[in-house]
Amino acid sequence: MTKKEVTQMSYDIVGCAIKVHNELGPGLLESVYEKCLKFELESNGFRVKQQVKVPVSYRGLEMDVELRLDLLVNSTIIIELKTVENILPVHQAQLLTYMKLLKKPQGLLINFFTDNITRNLKPFVNEYFKELD
């Protein structure tokens, strides 16, 4: 996978999120948007896993914790969905941590509680993205 391919995939994912938001509007539960976005992504040929458990280990100690990310697309891009008035630094930290723990190059933080998805969308890349061609 190249940087260009990941970037294009991210662009296509955002298009699917916009389509869901345009049809449903703001004000629903996060779980509703999650199911609809998964359906939209799969309808567009993406492989999507929902509520993926995020393993945590510390110096060989495997933690029995219930961390779950919302959507994982093509085993490459993590999507965290929110339906909040304002995205907080803790939401960003959550996504960045999931990306690090799962060694994924890109994450999208999408807030559906808005009148414009693109203004409330935050893409993130990390060192795994920088290592791609």
Please give the residue range of the domain that contains residue 45.
Answer: 3-130
The whole-number average pLDDT for the span 74-93 is: 97
Query: Contact 92/102 with Cβ under 8 angstroms?
Result: no
Q: What pLDDT score was predicted for residue 66?
A: 84
* 132 in Cβ contact with 1 (< 8 Å): yes
d(C-alpha 133, C-alpha 21), whole Å = 33
Backbone angles phi, psi at 130, to 5 degrees: -65, -25
pLDDT band of residue 20 (cuts 50, 70, 90) is very high
HSE at residue 32, side-chain half, CA atoms within 13 A, is 12
Q: Is 86 helix (H, G, I), strand (E, B) or coil?
A: coil
Calculate mean pLDDT across residues 14-18: 98
Cα 125 from Cα 108, distance rounded (Å): 9
Percent of the chain exceeding pLDDT 90 equals 92
Task: Tell me the CATH number at 24.
Answer: 3.90.1570
Over range 39-50, report the average pLDDT.
98
Into how many domains does the chain fold? 1
Angle at the Cα of 33 (from 69 to 66), degrees rounded to 5?
25
**Model confidence at 81: pLDDT above 90:** yes
Rounded to whole angstroms, the Cα distance separating 80 from 122 reads 10
